[in-house]
Amino acid sequence: MSVPFKKDPMEFKQRALFATNVFDLLRSDHPCYVYEVIFEQLDTSSVEEQFSVRGQNAYHPKLVTGILIYAYSQGVFSSREIEKKCHEDLGFMFISHCNCPNFRVLSDFRKDNFKFFKECFKQSALLAMEAGMASLGHVSLDGSKFKANTSKHKAMSYGRLKAKEKELAEDIEDLIAKASKCDEEEDEEYQDKTGYEIPEELKVKEQRLAKIKEAKEALEKREQELNPGKKIDDKKQISFADKEARIMGKKGGFDYSYNGQISVDEDNQIIVGQHLSQNANDKQEAEPGLEEIKVTTGDLPDKMSLDNGYMSGNNLEAFEDKETDVYIATGKGEKKDHREIEDSNRKIKKSDFSYDEDRDCFVCPAGHVLELKTASSDGKKVYQGDKAECDICPYKARCCSSKRGEPRTINTDDKEPLRQKMNEKMEQESSKEIYKKRKKIVEPVFGQIKNSGFRGFSLRGYEKSSGEFSLACAVHNFKKVVRAILGGTVCLESKGLAPMVA
């Protein structure tokens, strides 16, 4: 006797008697319904202005933008894969109105409208604030590396570029000389050809030389901007595929990347400011971070917390004329070493020295003074102790690391009073309580973005990658809003927007 398994429903093997809507198969609380309502609120007028009444009708920018945002929210980034989903997945079919553009249209829209995605991010942040999900009470700024659309194997060092340029130039001269000689000789055997196929070889080498020169000029321009007037190290590299990406270190080693910076609000982890940086560290990112928050929300946060990577004179100076109450970790990492100086196993660090602002000098743990030795026009300062005092100091073995027996030296700049002020502030228990919230505010957001699949860029070049990063940040905000609506904590209708479900 056969086991009586459940049978397929009758509707599976025959057509329905009455017409039905295929989207009725989706559950009533499917996120695509909420996304569709939100996409109707998007202002795409800046993109619409680029189109003309002439020619074939184009897909509406709202439709294409909605497809891209929904695709990124589902972890789908390939334009071909997005097109495929729009023909197979009911959620994608609903968002695309069963009218999905060709993958090339999706790819070109993403590539050509990178500036619009910054506007799109701004709208996502303002929507979240309108829904009461962000208040700018406490914002944390942090950065993370995102891989550029290139490879270390598609790069060349400055020294190699110079050598290859010279080699190709010599080869081309040699080929031109051979071609000229062959042109002068009449060879009936080869008729219109030389027998060496020199013109084709010459064309290939000229194309390679042009690429070498372009990459070399781009590297020289980059290094001149970063280190004006300094000789370029032959080990400096540049990528042929994305000349604006930089080698940056991260877990797993070094690779061509961009430094993605986000400012996240404490309330619901909404990103209220974002920008892409070409700097490998965060020592100059506070000022652009503040500017982006201002541009996005029209205001600055009451409090901001930043990790030790932002502890630099430039970043501290950026907050000087702002009303924002800032908290920056002052020790290496986020756990300051509170062990006593007398611990014989610990090196004496700069943080163990006290700074006397009135006398403009440092005082070591043993009470010896480090006087100002040199001060350059760019604000850099060097302080050094007295050799006789350092030689008899009981902390010398743990303090002086010079192999030549030089006394202890401290390198800093004219922003040292700001550092000392922050050091004193972060010693307070109230400051520590505020700062320790940082890990719960901004770091999980990077995890959410990367775990959704966005770990690198599909586009190349700084501006286009910046646009794609704006799109990724906008998607994060929209996902937060959609989940809040579906969870019942936010109702867009009560905020004067559209109904929750179309």
Tokens describing residue 213: 């020169």
- Cα dihedral value 329, 333, 335, 340, nearest 10: -100
pLDDT at 245 over 60: yes
pLDDT in tens, 254-292: 888 999 999 999 999 999 999 999 998 999 999 999 999
Confidence of residue 495 (pLDDT cuts 50, 70, 90): very low
- What's the pLDDT at 271? 97
- Tell me the average pLDDT of the chain: 84
Out of 61-65, 188-192, 300-304, 349-353, least confident range? 188-192
Q: Is-contact 107 79, C-beta < 8 A? A: yes
Tokens describing residue 103: 């993958």
- What's the pLDDT at 343? 59
What is the residue whose two structure tokens read 């990124």? 72
- What's the pLDDT at 155? 73
The SS3 call for residue 80 is helix
Q: What is the pTM of this model?
A: 0.83
Q: How far apart are CA 248 and CA 244, in angstroms?
A: 12
Q: Is-contact 340 316, C-beta < 8 A? A: no
- Cα dihedral value 60, 64, 70, 71, nearest 10: 160
Q: Is-contact 474 367, C-beta < 8 A? A: no
- What's the pLDDT at 502? 37
The SS3 call for residue 237 is strand
Q: Any idea what the Cα angle at residue 44 is, between residues 469 and 470, rounded to 5°?
A: 10
Out of 132-136, 143-147, 257-261, 344-348, least confident range? 344-348
Q: In the predicted model, what is the mean pLDDT of residues 186-201? A: 55
Q: In the predicted model, what is the mean pLDDT of residues 22-42? A: 91
CA nearest neighbour of 105 among 71, 76, 67: 67
The SS3 call for residue 163 is helix
The phi, psi pair for 340, rounded to 5°, reads -70, 155
pLDDT at 116 over 80: yes
